Amino acid sequence: MFEFEDRVEFPERNLDILTVGEMLIDMISEEYGDSFESRTYGKFFGGSPSNIAMNVKRLGARPLVASAVGADGLGHFLIEHLKEAGIDTRCVQQVEESTSMVVITKSRATPIPIFYRGADYQLAYTTELKEALERTKIVHFSCWPLSRKPVRQTMEEVIRDAGRNGVLICFDPNYHPMLWEKGEDGALYVKSILRHVDIVKPSEDDAQRLFGPDTPENQLRKFLDLGVKLVILTLGKDGALVSNGKETVKFDTLAKDVADTTGAGDAFWSGFYAALVKGYPIRRALKFGMAVSAYKLQYMGAVVDLPRLEEFEQRYQI
Amino acid sequence: MFEFEDRVEFPERNLDILTVGEMLIDMISEEYGDSFESRTYGKFFGGSPSNIAMNVKRLGARPLVASAVGADGLGHFLIEHLKEAGIDTRCVQQVEESTSMVVITKSRATPIPIFYRGADYQLAYTTELKEALERTKIVHFSCWPLSRKPVRQTMEEVIRDAGRNGVLICFDPNYHPMLWEKGEDGALYVKSILRHVDIVKPSEDDAQRLFGPDTPENQLRKFLDLGVKLVILTLGKDGALVSNGKETVKFDTLAKDVADTTGAGDAFWSGFYAALVKGYPIRRALKFGMAVSAYKLQYMGAVVDLPRLEEFEQRYQI
């Protein structure tokens, strides 16, 4: 049980957050184009867990990234990007498949990403990864590495060893059937993982894709019933509804100006994590999540230049 | 036996060239960057067989493209591009996989492409494709659709039915081990296909990747010994060496200004095909190939705006 007024007690560790999963290239069109007439694309560092690692580093916490990229120029680019940010790359594996990529063509309607999955799902359970799990407080992953083999086996070992080592297991249930191989019931698999998970942060869309449409309160209940200990259901401009199974707390958004919603969810995770490992109680850590998310929303881009965590305290009167 | 002074006798058909295989997106960096630091990429229509179809249409011949693209925005873009060029798209299949893509980062050294294969290898042997093989004079393909299943089975049916229908079978043996699944001997498979092939056009690099290093004359002999009837070995600025097994003829390059070598080989095929179906003897058709290639070399880009075939006659004094 996570009481809102309690801190999470972590064992003594020299790492704060280990992110496991997709690190990839986002190719984003420079112009809007509903018929893909856009001619030029910008190449960006991407992948939600890796973006969280970049963010928490800026906030002052200690991340490590475990990902597989190609033994190619784009993989090299991603690794250099981590190094420049001062992030340890010992758990980045270079494999034979091409570095994974998502092509996003901006559109006045909903932009539909095109996935090019290669290296990301070749992540192996190496000695380095096993060791990282012994020295981190938190492990974070999304649906990507659950959606395909062989990385799914790696994740099952990660989850098992995280549990054995007393690591807090946090999962972004960003379920989308497009990630799964045709014919497999990905939602069913995701649900089967939840009993090993401490904290999830679904959006309403994520919850709907997993469980079908329902009220926010009922969606919270479904995650709790499947064994999750703390559920953070994000409601966009309406903030977030958080439940530990005993108590449900509403958090209002702190955002005033919204320039770009890309990466706002990752910014939330980042502020929340940085505050948890700093020893703040859960209620306050959630407020830091709301604050870092609000800060990010003011700027364009998935990862923006964040101040250190302490600065959010005054700026957002937490 | 193809005598150099003979025309190729084609049955009466309402199509000239059916290209079967990769139609894809080329993502090409705008700047040079040896460490993939290039930030912007241009999106281009690509895939060698589809480029040949575009070229022969401009030269005045009648192409048809059989390819598989994704049921996504990039696939839509490729289909629209063909339609705008007035090319029949009835044999373009839209499948569940993402539209295939090649990312090319320009480099002062040799640029190393990164392959993202998806839809292209899902091409099925449909009724439309079978019918197209009954009404074309020439079928053209490269190593791409041989390199992976299930499209390989489709190609085996294409080759079988092309033989039954008296279609001229032309193959670009652009072999590269990166196209093949790890652990499979792609060179061996390519060699096993050659006995069904009428005409090949390897570069010296292609020949070396298939057979190891050797003299041009010996490389010609290896293709002939495996059953090919006419071998066009291209030698870059040194032109081409062509053998029908009885006679070997040297063709000098007609290029004066070289702005960009991309697509020069496809331009050669295009001029050669357009001249063959127009009824020119083989020696003269090869000269048209050299001429269209020389014309293309003056301009940047894989596909350039070609004049009709007749104009090359005077311009290059063929």
The tens digit of pLDDT for each residue in B122-179 reads 999 999 999 999 999 999 999 999 999 999 999 999 999 999 999 999 999 999 998 9
pLDDT (average), residues B24-47 = 86
Tokens of B55: 């070229």
Chain A, nearest residue to B104 by Cα: A73
Is B43 within 8 Å of chain A by CB?
Answer: yes
Contact B35 A77 (CB under 8 A): yes
Tell me, yes or no, whether B148 lies in a domain: yes
The yes-or-no verdict on residue A152 having pLDDT over 80 is yes
Is there a domain that residue B10 lies in?
Answer: no
Continuous segment of H or E residues that includes residue A64: strand A63-70
| Contact (Cβ atoms closer than 8 angstroms) between residue B260 and residue B301 | yes
Rounded to an integer, the average pLDDT of B179-191 is: 94
Q: Quick check: A114 and B74 CB within 8 A?
A: yes
- Residue B34's pLDDT band (cuts 50, 70, 90): low
Question: Which pLDDT score is estimated for A112?
Answer: 81
CB contact under 8 A, A116 and B98: yes
**A42·B42 Cβ contact <8 A:** no
Residue B247: give its domain's CATH number. 3.40.1190.20
Contact B43 A38 (CB under 8 A): yes
Separation of alpha carbons B100 and B116, rounded Å: 6
Confidence of residue B108 (pLDDT cuts 50, 70, 90): confident
Give the model's confidence band at B82: pLDDT under 50 very low, under 70 low, under 90 confident, else very high.
very high
Q: What is the pLDDT of residues A160-190, one digit of tens each?
A: 999 999 999 999 999 999 899 889 999 999 9
Q: Is the pLDDT of residue B256 over 80?
A: yes
Q: What is the pLDDT of residue B180?
A: 93
Q: Is A69 on the interface with B (CB under 8 A)?
A: no
Q: Is the pLDDT of residue A254 over 70?
A: yes
Instruction: Provide the number of structural domains found in chain B.
Output: 1
Q: Could A74 and B182 be called an inter-chain contact, meaning their C-beta atoms sit closer than 8 Å? A: no
| Structure confidence by residue, pLDDT tens digits, A102-119 | 999 887 777 788 999 999
Which residues on chain B are in Cβ contact (under 8 Å) with A182? 96
Helices (H) and strands (E) in chain A, counts: 10, 13
The pLDDT of residue B36: 66
pLDDT of residue B59: 97
Q: How many CB pairs under 8 A join A and B?
A: 75
B287 part of a folded domain: yes
pLDDT, average across residues A76-88: 96
* Interface mutation vs chain B, best among A80, A96, A103, most B CBs within 10 Å: A103
The domain of A149 spans 15-315
Share of chain B above pLDDT 90, in %: 89
By Cβ distance, the residue of B41, B70, B98 closest to A40 is B41
Out of A36, A38, A118, closest to residue B116 by CB: A118
> What number is the average pLDDT over the span B197-215?
97
Cβ atoms of B91 and B67 closer than 8 Å: yes
- What span, in angstroms and rounded, lies between the C-alpha atoms of A115 and B97? 9
CA B263, CA B37: separation in Å to the nearest integer? Answer: 25
DSSP A146: G
How do residues A197-215 score in pLDDT, each as one tens digit? 999 999 999 999 999 999 9
Residue B1: inside a domain, yes or no?
A: no
In this structure, how many other beta carbons lie within 10 angstroms of the beta carbon of residue B160?
Answer: 12
B interface test, pick of A100, A106, A114 with most B CB neighbours within 10 Å: A114
- Between CA A200 and CA A231 the distance in angstroms is 5
Nearest CA in chain A to B182: A96
Contact of B299 with chain A, judged by CB distance below 8 Å, is answered with: no
In chain B, what residues touch A103 (CB-CB under 8 Å)? 74, 101
**pLDDT at residue A35 is higher than 80:** no
Among residues A166, A106, A171, the alpha carbon closest in space to that of A143 is found at: A171
Judge whether B41 is closer than 8 Å to chain A, CB to CB: yes
Q: What percent of chain A has pLDDT over 90?
A: 88
Edge-first strand listing for the sheet containing B40-46: A114-116, A101-104, A24-29, A40-46, B40-46, B24-29, B101-104, B114-116
CA distance B16 to B64: 8
- Residue A9 in any domain: the answer is no
Which of A30, A41, A184 should be substituted to probe chain B, the one whose Cβ sees the most B Cβ atoms within 10 Å? Answer: A41
Decide if A264 contacts A297 (C-beta within 8 A): yes
Q: Is residue A119 part of a domain?
A: yes
Q: Is B31 on the interface with A (CB under 8 A)?
A: no
Average pLDDT over residues B94-106: 93
Contact B155, B19 (CB under 8 A): no
pTM value is 0.90
Cβ <8 Å between A41 and B36: no
pLDDT at position A72, please?
A: 94
- The ipTM is 0.84
Tell me, yes or no, whether B239 lies in a domain: yes
Interface check A299 vs B, CB under 8 A: no
Q: Which two tokens stand for residue B100?
A: 């295939």
Which residue in chain A has the smallest CA separation from B118?
A: A116
**Residue B152 belongs to a domain:** yes
Q: Say whether A77 and B37 touch across the interface (CB within 8 A).
A: yes
B71: CB partners within 8 A, 6+ apart: B94, B95, B96
Among A94-108, A218-232, B55-69, whose mean pLDDT is lowest?
A94-108
Residues of chain A in contact with residue B115, where contact means CB-CB under 8 angstroms, are 98
Please, are residues B268 and B292 in contact by the beta-carbon 8 Å criterion? yes
What is the pLDDT, as a whole number, of residue B32?
78
